[in-house]
Each structure stands twice: as C-alpha cells, then as structure tokens.
Chains A and B, each alone.
Chain A
C-alpha cells in the first residue's frame, strides 16, 4: 500500500513538471494546450492520491475541483482562443527551443537547491517532491519572460499557478478549502479576463503589438 502510494505520488508529481518542460519544447498551440490539460489532470491526481492516503475529505473535493478547472475548463478556453487566432503559433521566441530546454534543466537544479531548505522542516515522502512544484513555477516564469505571443504568456501564467498548487498539495495537503476555492476561481477568472482582452484587442488593432507592451512608456 505504502509503496504504491509513493510511486503513484511520484509519477503524478513528475508528470506535472514533465508537461511544463514539454510546453517549452512544443510550438503549436494545440499541443501546448494538450500538455496543460495533462498537467491539470496530473495535479488533480496528486491531490486525490494524497487525499486517499491521509483520509482528507476536503482535499478530495479540491482534487475534483482542480480536475474540472485546470484539467478541462482552462484548456478548453485556451483552445477556443487558438481557434480564433490562427497566428497564435510561437514563431519567434526570444530564446530558441534547445536553449530553453537547457535553461529548464538549470532551473530544475535551482529549484532543488532552494527546495531542500524548505523540505528540511518535515521530511515525508510528499514534501520531498515539493521541489518539482518550485521547478514548475520557475519554468512558468521563464516562459512568461521569453515568449512573445499573448497565448504563450497566458500559458506561462497557468504554469506558475499549477506549480504553486503542486507545492501547496505536497507541503500542506492543501490549504483550507475556502482559500482553495477562492484561488481556483481566481485563476479561472484571470484566464477569462485575458481571453476577453485578447478578443477585444483583436477588434481594435494588432494584438501582438499591444501584448509586446511597447506603446505606453515614459
């Protein structure tokens, strides 16, 4: 039982980071969104495995919520955006794909260096995996900084958020339910807001020029 629990947890948490790295590798929005969907589902698997192991009902509810919001709804919203905008393929990232993957490896090492100081407080099989979440956060930031397209920036934001959720589950078995509900709703709303902005900007002018954020300055 215990061995199965640990390997299931490791598999799910590893899949979260793996799908984050895959989003750096893939270019087409369709496959990036599939990776995000996989990430959301793995994240909910982490929560559910933990909940079953520790008999936490609130965490089970959270896991199902994460499955719906991050596994299904958010990817569906992004798919709609990419259908609306055929040019949403990331054609010219600031850092090319092979270099991005090398950077990702460096970020993962960095996450482990920082992470060990946190996990030292309580050494369980779950907290040992927390650096995977930190690494996902860092990969998300990297994506936000180096990708120009609006869709890629939204993807980066979602990666950051999923990474934080993974850290939350592994370290604390989830924050109180009300906070978890609030933060999931917020993520959903932010994605809706961003989608709305992208769509309205397309009616006005060149989205990319706006999302590169060059017009307003001192």
Chain B
C-alpha cells in the first residue's frame, strides 16, 4: 500500500501539472507532493526494518535499501522543487522562458522523479533498467530547457552518450538473465526478479557473469558519471537550470549507482569478491584522479560542482569495491550527504548566476561583503563538500577509509587522501576568490529572501546533524547494507 502511494503521489502531480497552465501554485503543489512522498518514504523505511514490503502482485518490492533511496530522492526533490516557483518566475520575467515551457518543465520534473522512484522500488532488474533509461528522456528536455546553443549541445551529447552507455547495461542485464535461465542446468525461473536472481546467484555461469558485470559497470557507470563515460556530465550539469542540476547530481547519479550495488551483489555471489572489486576500483580511482585534475584549474562554477560530483561518485565506486557491510553503510550515508550538499550548492549557484549574471569563477568576487547570507550558505556548502567535520560527508569518508584499511587496501586510502587534499586546496582557492576577493565597488549588502534561505540553511543543518548523531539512520543503513550482501 505504502509503495503504491509513494508512486501514485508524483504521478498524480504529473497529471495535475499537465492539465493546468503554469501558475506559481503548481510549483508549490509539486513541492508538497515531494514532501508527502518523503514522509511516506520515512514511514516505509521504518516498516522495512522488520521485513521487505511487496506491492501489486510482487511487481514492486521495498527493502531497507529501496526505502533509504526513496528518502534520499524525497529529500533532494523537495529541495529542488521548492525552487520551482522562484526559478520559473525569474526565467519568465527575464524572457528566458515562457509559461508554456514552464509547464513542460514542471511536468518533466515530475516524470523524472517518478521514474527514479520506480527504479528504486521495482522488484525486477529489467524494469530497473527501463526506469533509468526513461530518466534519460525526461532529463534531456530539462537540460535543453533554456534552448540556447550550449543547452542543445549539452542535451545532444547527454542523450547520445547515455543511450549508448545504458544500451550496454541492457546487454549486461540480458546476459545475467541468460545465465539465470541456465543456472544449475534447469530453467529455474523465467523472470528478472531480484529475489529469484539472488536465489540462483551462486550457480550463475562465471564466464557469462563476468562479461555481464563488466558491461553493467560501464553501462550504469555512464549514468553514474564514472570514467570513461563521464564526459556528458559537466556539460549537462552546467547547462541545465539549477534545480535540474541539483536533482541530476544529487540523486540521478546515485540512483544509477543503486543499480550497480544490486548487480554487484549478484556478481560477488557468482564470481567471488575479487573481480567486481578490481573493476569497481579501477573506475573509481580513475574517476577520482580525473576529477582532481579537472578541479585544479576549473574556471566555471557549475562545471566545478559537476566535476566534484565525478569525484564523489568515484569515492562511492571505491566504497562499493570494498563491499563490506561497513563500507556499504558508509556509501549509503555518503549518498545522502552528497545529495543534500550538492543540491544546496547547485541551488545557491543558481542564485549567484541570477544575481551576478555569470558562472565564471574569475568574474565573481567579494560575495561575502555584498551578499552575506547567500555567500555564507555557499561557503558552508563547500565546507560540507570537502568533507570537513562536523558535516556528514566527513563521517562517511572516514568510515569508508576505515573499511578500506580493514580490507587491506592501503594504497587506495593513500591515493584518496592525496586526491582529497588537492581537491580541498583547489576548492578553497576558488571559494576564497569568489567569497572574499575584492568586490566590484562599494555596493551595499543585500539580503536573501527567507523563502530561499530557510530551505538551504535547514538542509545544511541536516547535514551537520547527520554528521554528529547518526543514530536515527544507523539501524536503517546497516540493514540496507545487509540487503546487498551476497
């Protein structure tokens, strides 16, 4: 019941948004629908602690991992949709968009959110693929929303690269299904259900599973933004409207990573831990290194945030490679912390773009003197992003490092530490220029509207709270991590 309600709420909101012309109340309604399914998601996580929930003749299944992902999607969607009325109002006022496209925007945002929820709640690994592929279609139009040359190029690149990448994931899924059909010599089950795949996972043919998992890592890795198929990410994130970037970076990447976590469990059961670990370590470390290099000399604010997403996805892949319950729990906490932090940063960078008219780092300076609240939010967001205590990313990165040491991966800890220090230095240098550099003239400080400041500050407070006391989440995280243990 709960699962059906979670899916029906954004779907109903899609229909509402499609049937009325754009008005600000539609934006507020879509934010309240996100708040509603977030509430149900929290309830769902409590119920899944005792047993997984099923819905609609076993088409949908929620264990603690699914419920946790619903909470992450709900939190970030709520933040992003709270900015819909403001973003659309600004864009219509400045002639960037029209009421017609504002309506498209709201509908597509709702479709996008519904697809992500379907992806994490479906019981079927094939439907998981279909939902993730469907997010590509919705987000392509959201990336091209501004209809500039840059936006069209970014969305073209996005749809071509992601379709190709995700096609590989489909081939991987098909090969898993083929291995499943022949597991143990008998036709065991003719569905791609997560539970039936896991029940025969130990008997899957190693040769086929190895190829399948490699295809899945590259395929879903494209959507996650992992090297070598990452190149769409900085373009799409820098060209999309800020709330769309917030949603894409904050949750879309990690929903695709959720797919990888599920298949990792299948691969570990069939092949043992060595092969999945090696593969995920290679893509994870490569992503981390690439992001570090690109962040050092980054000139654009939104591209800087996009490369930082690649960095954090690399960290998630490394955590997934380690694969112990502790590491997976840390990965999940990292998913939540990164989602909230990145949403705050993209949304405040949207405000900065609106006020300053540019996202070039060199042209933004002295924000702290001129716009103290906004600069404060952005500055604290960056501190959270570079994982300083007491923010939750510090806790999750520390826990991941501990899990890596436990697994004997000292060299990975060393590389991560070097990369993270370089990134810390690079981001503080960029931030110092933007926040404290000499501003243009002696403009009087302007204040930020409460409707903008309150959600962002609340989100940062949540990040701090998660970093100091993780007890409300601890049992959920360990339970969710157990769910993807082979």
| Residue positions of A touching B, CB distance < 8 A | 114, 117-118, 120-122, 137, 141, 144, 150, 153, 157, 160-161, 164, 167-168, 171-172, 175-176, 178-179, 182-183, 186, 189-190, 193-194, 197, 200-201, 204-205, 210-211, 213, 215-216, 218
Contacts and interface: CB of A to CB of B under 8 A. Distances in A.
A183 B167 CA distance: 10
Interface of B: 124, 126-127, 129-130, 133-134, 136-137, 140-141, 144, 147-150, 152-157, 159-160, 163-164, 167, 170-171, 173-175, 177-179, 181-182, 190-192, 205, 207-208, 211, 234-235, 238-239, 294, 298-299, 303
Contacts of B134: 182, 186, 189
B174 A171 contact: yes
Nearest to A200: B152
17 contacts: A118-B207, A121-B208, A137-B171, A157-B167, A164-B167, A164-B170, A171-B178, A172-B177, A176-B124, A176-B190, A182-B134, A183-B129, A200-B147, A213-B156, A216-B150, A216-B235, A218-B234
Given A160-B164, A213-B157, A218-B303, A122 B182 contact: yes
Given A137-B171, A197-B144, A176 B149 contact: no
A139 B126 CA distance: 25
B201 to A, nearest CB: 16
B175 A176 contact: no
Given A176-B192, A205-B149, A210-B156, 15 more contacts: A118-B175, A121-B182, A144-B160, A168-B174, A171-B178, A172-B177, A175-B192, A176-B191, A186-B137, A197-B140, A197-B152, A197-B155, A201-B152, A216-B157, A216-B234
A186 B159 contact: no
A201 B155 CA distance: 11
Contacts of A205: 149
Contacts of B171: 137, 164, 167
Contacts of A153: 160
Given A121-B205, A179-B124, A190 B179 contact: no
Contacts, number: 132
B126 A179 contact: yes
Contacts of A157: 160, 163-164, 167
Q: Which of A144, A157, A182, A211 has the most CB of B within 10 A?
A: A182
A186 B177 CA distance: 20
Given A117-B207, A193-B140, A215 B192 contact: no
Contact of B153 (A137, A164, A210): A210
Contacts of B164: 141, 144, 157, 160
Contacts of A122: 182
A12 B157 CA distance: 33
Contacts of A211: 153, 156
Contacts of A168: 174
Contacts of B148: 204
A214 to B, nearest CB: 8
Contact of B159 (A117, A160, A193, A201): A193
Nearest to B141: A193
A117 B178 CA distance: 13
B175 A186 contact: no
B134 to A, nearest CB: 6
Contacts of A150: 156
A215 B130 contact: no
